């Protein structure tokens, strides 16, 4: 028989650097989860993503145990890394702040394909390209 689910929690934590401080501690503490255990497991699984914002979906069960699923980092975070910028443009239609190549878009789209609402790689590339355009990042060939 499957365990009864108490809650599903979605968080974004820096890879390999999660701490019991907010937002992790309060989100898990209110459901009675062992925060230290989660932080240790999360940091162990994400040690190769040092500092990269990583979404995680935590399922808390009635007996206070938990499981979690790591998602791929947001496209905006990956685009900022590749373009070498700190943040997107405040006026993306007028002011461009960086540029990425279509090959780099393809790499990001292939990483994110499982988490995107897209059936194939071409559709995923279009999603990531739209994110880049909304951030003021120019796509070049």
We report the CATH number of the domain holding residue 80 as 1.10.10.250
In a shared domain, residues 81 and 52: no
Question: What's residue 91's pLDDT?
Answer: 81
Query: What confidence score (pLDDT) does residue 1 get?
Result: 60
CB 11 within 8 A of CB 59: no
Does residue 85 sit in the same domain as residue 127?
yes
Q: Which residues contact 129 (CB under 8 A, 6 or more apart)?
A: 105, 139
Q: What is the pLDDT of residue 100?
A: 82
The CA distances from residue 35 to 13, 21, 48, 98, 139, in Å, are 14, 10, 21, 39, 42
What residues make up the domain containing 90?
A: 75-140
Q: What is the DSSP string of 100-124?
A: EEHHHHHHHHHHHTTTSS-SSHHHH
The C-alpha atoms of residue 52 and residue 31 are separated, in whole angstroms, by 26
Give the pLDDT mean for 92-121. Answer: 83
The pLDDT of 44-65, averaged and rounded, is 85
| pLDDT more than 90, % of the chain | 1
Q: Mean pLDDT score of the chain, rounded to an integer?
A: 84
Identify whether residues 86 and 55 lie together within a single domain.
no
Provide the number of structural domains found in the chain: 2
* 15 shares its domain with 66: yes
Residues 13 and 65 occupy one common structural domain:
yes
């Amino acid at each position: 028989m499957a365990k009864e689910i108490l809650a599903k929690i979605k968080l974004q934590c820096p890879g390999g650097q999660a701490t019991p401080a907010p937002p992790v501690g309060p989100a898990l503490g209110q459901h009675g989860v062992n925060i230290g255990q989660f932080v240790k497991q999360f940091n162990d699984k994400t040690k190769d993503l040092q500092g990269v914002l990583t979404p995680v979906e935590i399922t808390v069960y009635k007996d206070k145990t938990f499981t979690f699923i790591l998602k791929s980092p947001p496209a905006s975070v990956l685009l900022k890394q590749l373009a070498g910028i700190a943040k997107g443009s405040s006026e993306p239609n007028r002011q461009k702040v960086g540029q990425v190549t279509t090959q780099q878009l393809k790499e990001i789209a292939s990483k994110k394909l499982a988490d995107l609402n897209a059936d194939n790689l071409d559709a995923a590339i279009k999603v990531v390209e739209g994110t880049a355009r909304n951030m003021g990042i120019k796509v070049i060939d």
